[in-house]
Amino acid sequence: MSNEFLSGSYQFNNSPLYNFQLNRVVLWNHGDLAEVAARGKEITDFASWERVLKELSYQAERRKDWAAAAGYLRMAEFFMVPDTPESRDVYDRAQELFYANFDHLFSPQGGPIHRDEVPYESGTLPCWRITPSGDKRGTILFHGGNDSLLEEFTDLLLYLARGGYEILAFEGPGQGAALRKSGLTFTPEWEKPVGAVLDHYGAEDVTIIGVSLGGELCMRAAAMEPRIRRVVSWSVLPSIYGALMADKPAEIRAKLEHWLDENNRDAILDLYAGLAEREPLFRWSIQHSNYAYGTSDVYEYLQKARAFTIEPVAERITQDVLLLSAREDLLVDFALYKQEIDLLKNTRSLEFAAPGRALNGQAHCNMGNTKYMLDLILNWNDRMLER
């Protein structure tokens, strides 16, 4: 794996969504910049996404570029119909490539990463504990968001550990193998999986970092879990439902709110059936959400999504908080940061950063300049510990 982070914002595809995810392939999943630039324009739908990324994975495997081979395949699964034999095979093969070829990173081979399975409800939560090489400054608890896999964050986690921190990184319900292997679906009560991980390691006085949707989940956990002393919300997202509704016309928002309050499943299913028929992306989004959230249709998903909000517990968040946002975020409306700051009345301290285009920080999770973001987080955490 690379110790250096590529930076930049690249134009691989004319679709903003495919283009963002192709940037993710290169910036976080070790895709080759020139290869993705050469093939990116071929992607016009989900079938071509899967085909191109599988072909790139095969080529990378032939030249023994194992990080790229695993990363391409990991992202090939992204737009596949979830929980099918085909998508499971692709996930399993990506995992196999990664662990077979990066075993030197793990403790049995003398590496710094210890792999554990933390018991949780009817299954287990995959967890990595990474030990710093020198004196330990503190402990960071790290998790991703809606579609996160631990392996995607390998370079980020090792970099944080080199900053002198013990890292506890986990896949919670709805994520990675916790979903695919244990069947655990997302819970709004994120303090429960967090508590299980902290209990397992006997960890106290931790900094929690939540990425993407994890930016909401980590804030909820902080409100309920006193062992969390510092919070980094790496994507400012006060509620999932609010983010889903941010780009909807006011009339549609009002209708949906009314129908959800009235438990009018039929009206919502009728509205969304037309959208799903016209828009493959929308159909995929609902399939993915139902799988990860354990719901059976869009009505159930929207009802469940309304519970993923910091609003009822925001006044209980008394930690030092760092909010990280992105001005041109495709997935989370930038304007939501105002709502979140207004909710956080009782934080010990609150800092807000939104690196812009000049720093390649304008995209979701500031993906174009990962090293800058990690240094920002480490510097902030060091300052909080020294106070």
pLDDT at 65 over 70: yes
Q: Looking at the whole model, is its pTM more than 0.85?
A: yes
pLDDT, position 271:
87
pLDDT at position 276 over 90: no
Residue 247 has what pLDDT? 78
**Whole-Å CA distances, 147 to 60, 73, 171, 186, 187:** 24, 14, 10, 11, 14
| Residue 3 in this model has a pLDDT that exceeds 60 | no
DSSP output for 7-60: -------SSHHHHHHHHHHHHHS---HHHHHHHGGG--SHHHHHHHHHHHHHHH
CB 25 within 8 A of CB 37: no
CA-wise closest residue to 350 among 387, 322, 378, 374: 322
CA distance 188 to 192: 9
Other residues' Cβ atoms within 10 Å of the Cβ of residue 10: 17
Sheet strand arrangement including 228-234: 113-120, 123-130, 165-170, 138-143, 206-211, 228-234, 320-324, 349-353
- How confident is the model at residue 245, as a pLDDT? 86
pLDDT at 96: 98
Digit-coded pLDDT (tens) for 146-169: 988 999 999 999 999 999 999 999
Residues 6+ apart with CB under 8 A from 27: 5, 6, 7, 8, 367, 368, 370
Tell whether the model's pLDDT for residue 2 goes beyond 70: no
pLDDT tens string 121-133 = 999 999 999 999 8
The pair of structure tokens assigned to 156 is 């980020």
Q: State residue 98's pLDDT score.
A: 98
* Averaged pLDDT of the chain: 95
Q: What is the pLDDT of residues 240-270, one digit of tens each?
A: 998 888 878 888 889 999 999 999 999 999 9
